[in-house]
Structure 1
Amino acid sequence: MLNQIGKTALLVMDLQNGIVPHLGENLEQALMPFQKAIKAARKHSIPIIFVRVGFSEGYPEVSTKNKAFSAISKYGAMTVNDHATQIYESVQPEANEPVITKYRVSAFSGSNLEMILRAQQIESLVLSGISTSGVVLSTLREAADKDFEIKVLNDACFDPDPEVHRVLMEKVFPRQADVLTVQSWIAALK
């Protein structure tokens, strides 16, 4: 899993069956930037780590104080074996690409992500995912606090609120990360 391009890894976050439909009616078109980033990472031997949110049966990880996740536990969805928590078919990981299960919004919270990154001597993260104001924001902040170099792929991130996406990409994220398109990231790899 060790890579040759500056110890970088691509994180593909929350592209799972229960979340991808939030991209809207044109799913396959909306997934194209993610697919391009994944294809480029594979071509350049950059490790890809898939991140999903999922819970154990009975939801022992979910506090009644957690507004978002306690609502999920009431409906009996999003356990690790549910169809909703599996990686979406058109962005499936290959055999050597880990799938990390997280129990909170950040990709680091309750997962073994940091252990894998440190074991593989990863110093730089390229972030993609659904949603910009959820997993991408929380992971970016925590990664910055952990001293990772960070890039965010603007067009391989999605938020249901386009204005929130724009503000984060233009005003918030540049304080801690380089924000670029998938195409410009791919061009820089050549």
Structure 2
Amino acid sequence: MTQQALLVMDVQQVVVDRHPDPDYLPRLRKAVDAARAAGVPVIYVVVGFRPGYPEISARNKMFGRLAGASAAGGAGAGGEELATRVHPDVAPGPGEVVVTKRRVSAFSGSDLDVVLRAGDISHLVLTGIATSGVVLSTLRQAADLDFGLTVLADGCLDSDAEVHRLLTEKVFPQQAEVTTVADWTAAL
């Protein structure tokens, strides 16, 4: 039987705050609760960096601003810890794995692949913020690593509704099954 895991990606308080949607966290919570009840591992992925951001090149268009803010006296060591906390509405339970990544994909700069292979996990169920960021990048890399894939379309969120629609309706189905939280939980 295929062993699956639910990935909850970049659902950190600071990220959720930038993507206000009052229905998102309760819906995602249903997926998390159903996975736990069915014995499906829930793995959390957060983006995080060391104090001073030594992993970030000034050439990196997405993350380079953080390194510049740090050099100018911006966020300190305590800020990095706070920024990596998963939103309390869907926080990890005891013993659940939290993986820290250093780039957009959940695999980049993390030990996610090691965790998945050690758990004999061959199928990933993707959720997270943003659809056009971590979900897209992780889906592409996971497909190249030969994982089976499901995307919970309403378990993903993007600041651009049209980009979310295009990805979940046209792009993701080329490499993954795309379904809803309700349909996925009903099938567990």
Give your verdict on TM over 0.5: yes
Contact 1:78 1:84 (C-alpha < 8 Å) held by counterparts = no
Who is 1:67 aligned against? 61
CA distance in structure 2 between the aligned counterparts of 1:168 and 1:77, rounded to whole angstroms? 33
Which segment drifts farther, 148-157 or 71-80? 71-80
Aligned residue type for 2:164: H
* 1:70-149 equivalence runs, <5 A: 70-75=64-69, 76-77=74-75, 81-149=80-148
C-alpha RMSD over aligned residues: 1.5
- The residue identity in structure 1 corresponding to 2:40 is I
| Structure 1 residues 87 and 22, CA gap change in structure 2 (3 angstroms) | same
Runs of 4+ in 1 over 6 A off after TM superposition: none
Q: 1:35 to 1:56 in 2, by over 3 A?
A: same
Distance 1:78 1:23, change over 3 A: farther
Q: Could you list the runs of 5+ residues in structure 2 that have no partner in the other structure?
A: none
Separation in 1, partners of 2:26, 2:121 = 26
Offset, 1:22: 2.2
The answer to whether 1:186 aligns with 2:180 is: no
Give the deviation of 1:77 after TM superposition: 4.1
Say if 2:53 and 2:66, in contact at 8 Å, map to a contact too.
no
Contact 2:45 2:100 in 1 (8 A): yes
Match status 1:18 vs 2:14: yes
| SS of equivalent to 1:116 | helix
Q: Deviation at 1:32?
A: 1.3
Q: Among 48, 71, 81, which residue is 1:54 paired with?
A: 48
How far does residue 78 in structure 1 lie from its aligned partner after superposition? 8.8
Unaligned runs of 5+ in 1: none
Post-superposition shift, 1:83? 1.4
Q: Deviations over 1:91-133 (max 9, x none)?
A: 1101110110000000000000000000000000000000000
Contact 1:78 1:85 in 2 (8 A): no
